[in-house]
Structure 1
């Protein structure tokens, strides 16, 4: 009887594997910044303090893309990201907004799309006055962008990666096409995919850490962790800290009075 019960309740599904980054490493993944320089600065300071307070490790920061657009200081965010990369190991991933930004310099159709989805703020962050912007045609705006946005910034953004692997984790901007091996993933999927990935609840080859799709809080699922908390709209910029199998969040949060505070939470000890 006991053996029959054991057979009845025995599952052919393997026990879930707890994702981990390689031993001796510590990762801080930062969600979509979207031109929020003040939140970005505050979060980087908090990350540095957190890292210093812990056991020495091989630490890396991963920015999950969409550094630009929507917020007021994309130029400042790009400058700070370049400085960060010079200071410590940092991986920068390309988001769909970086793709629009780069394409807008040559393609007026993409320029129109870029401007409609936050690109206006990006252009103006490089010193373009509102009156000049409002009076310019699309062709004139392209000329303005070529003049005011340094080639160094364009080259910096163009060099962003599409993904980063760390142990059981895969960092991407938007997600992956379910069921497709990593080496066969299309760049477009990694930067733009949404519903097909978000609604998929079966295991992936890796635990996916992503941005792109906004959620009020960190969206931790069995197969993915979404950390885009809508900084440009909510005033909440999130970092996910990974060490071994532990997961923690560090968030820079702007209050109604403009003051930025830091909030932390342990997801997995």
Structure 2
């Protein structure tokens, strides 16, 4: 069941254009099982109270940490063929592509959950592999990652704007106009953004920094609830000025 997260006078709230409903996710991290459940929630919600234009927005970090990165990408690609979807890039997609281009990035990727991604593609990496073994494993990974996954990863956007909302993976740098934000901040920023009470010109919807429950502020909402560790994948529904979460 959907639960209301925020309730004020509608004139004080950011709004989406008439007829649009957005369903937003962040930081799926290889939990294809939870994502499939949430797709069913969306389908039921849309059947019961159809919107003229439903858009599903994904805020990045589809891979690593959780057990089903391969399956998660398959689900997202399949979903894009049947629904209007927007896919943003997360820092984990950036590192995944980097290690596929250059095996020297293996250690950095391994420390943030890359081994789980390799295992989802049927590779069994060693925890104490030599540099030569790492190179061999990355070559093996290149051979099994489907072309459709690479095309998907290379097509990801950095941000998405709709109405009064700005969707991004990590956040934005205070004091910089949204159109001038740097990719490194959009994918990686934490404290400078999270501690800011600045009006950014749009209401920011983001993930990247795990919280126990959606963190709702006057200028932003964080919907990363640590799905890979908690089993809690948050779905945010926005229509008009109403923000609702599962």
Query: Which structure has the greater CA radius of gyration?
Result: 1
Which structure 2 segments of 5+ residues have no match?
1-10
Q: How far is 1:132 from its partner?
A: 10
Q: How far is 1:115 from its partner?
A: 1.3
**Aligned equivalent of 1:154:** 150
**Aligned equivalent of 2:24:** 29
Q: Write the distance in 1 (CA, Å) between the matches of 2:159 and 2:210.
A: 19
Count of residues in correspondence between the two structures: 235
Q: Which of the numbers 67, 70, 76 marks the counterpart of 1:75? A: 70
**Aligned equivalent of 1:39:** 34
Q: How far is 1:192 from its partner?
A: 0.8
Q: Write the distance in 2 (CA, Å) between the matches of 1:56 and 1:147.
A: 42
**Aligned equivalent of 1:241:** 237
Three-state SS of the structure 1 residue aligned to 2:45 is helix
C-alpha change, 1:131 and 1:190, in structure 2 (3 Å) is closer
Q: Write the distance in 1 (CA, Å) between the matches of 2:216 and 2:189.
A: 18
Q: Which of the numbers 207, 211, 222 marks the counterpart of 1:211? A: 207
Q: How far is 1:75 from its partner?
A: 0.2
> Are the counterparts in 2 of residues 133 and 141 from structure 1 also a CA contact under 8 Å?
no
Q: How far is 1:110 from its partner?
A: 2.1
Three-state SS of the structure 2 residue aligned to 1:29 is strand
C-alpha change, 1:147 and 1:91, in structure 2 (3 Å) is same
Q: Which of the numbers 152, 165, 185 marks the counterpart of 2:161? A: 165
Q: Write the distance in 2 (CA, Å) between the matches of 1:214 and 1:65.
A: 13
> Are the counterparts in 2 of residues 20 and 245 from structure 1 also a CA contact under 8 Å?
yes
Q: For 1:25-66, what per-residue CA distance to the aligned partner results, in whole angstroms no more than 9, with x for missing partners?
A: 000011210000110100111011112211432000001100
> Are the counterparts in 2 of residues 65 and 95 from structure 1 also a CA contact under 8 Å?
yes
Q: For 1:170-223, what per-residue CA distance to the aligned partner results, in whole angstroms no more than 9, with x for missing partners?
A: 000000111211221111111111111011112111000001010000000000
Give the TM-score taking structure 2 as reference length: 0.91
Three-state SS of the structure 2 residue aligned to 1:161 is coil
Does residue 90 of structure 2 align to residue 95 of structure 1? yes
Query: Counterparts in 2 of 1:1-269, with a 5 A limit?
Result: 17-129=12-124, 137-250=133-246
Three-state SS of the structure 1 residue aligned to 2:30 is coil
C-alpha change, 1:109 and 1:194, in structure 2 (3 Å) is farther
* Greater relative contact order (Cα < 8 A, sep 6+): 2
Q: How far is 1:133 from its partner?
A: 9.3
> Are the counterparts in 1 of residues 177 and 200 from structure 2 also a CA contact under 8 Å?
no
> Are the counterparts in 1 of residues 118 and 125 from structure 2 also a CA contact under 8 Å?
no
Root-mean-square deviation over aligned CA pairs = 1.7
> Are the counterparts in 2 of residues 100 and 111 from structure 1 also a CA contact under 8 Å?
no
Q: For 1:229-249, what per-residue CA distance to the aligned partner results, in whole angstroms no more than 9, with x for missing partners?
A: 000011100011000011100
Q: Write the distance in 2 (CA, Å) between the matches of 1:239 and 1:179.
A: 29
The structure with the largest strand share of the pair is 1
Q: Write the distance in 2 (CA, Å) between the matches of 1:216 and 1:132.
A: 30
Three-state SS of the structure 1 residue aligned to 2:81 is helix
Give the TM-score taking structure 1 as reference length: 0.84
Which structure 1 segments of 5+ residues have no match?
1-15, 251-269
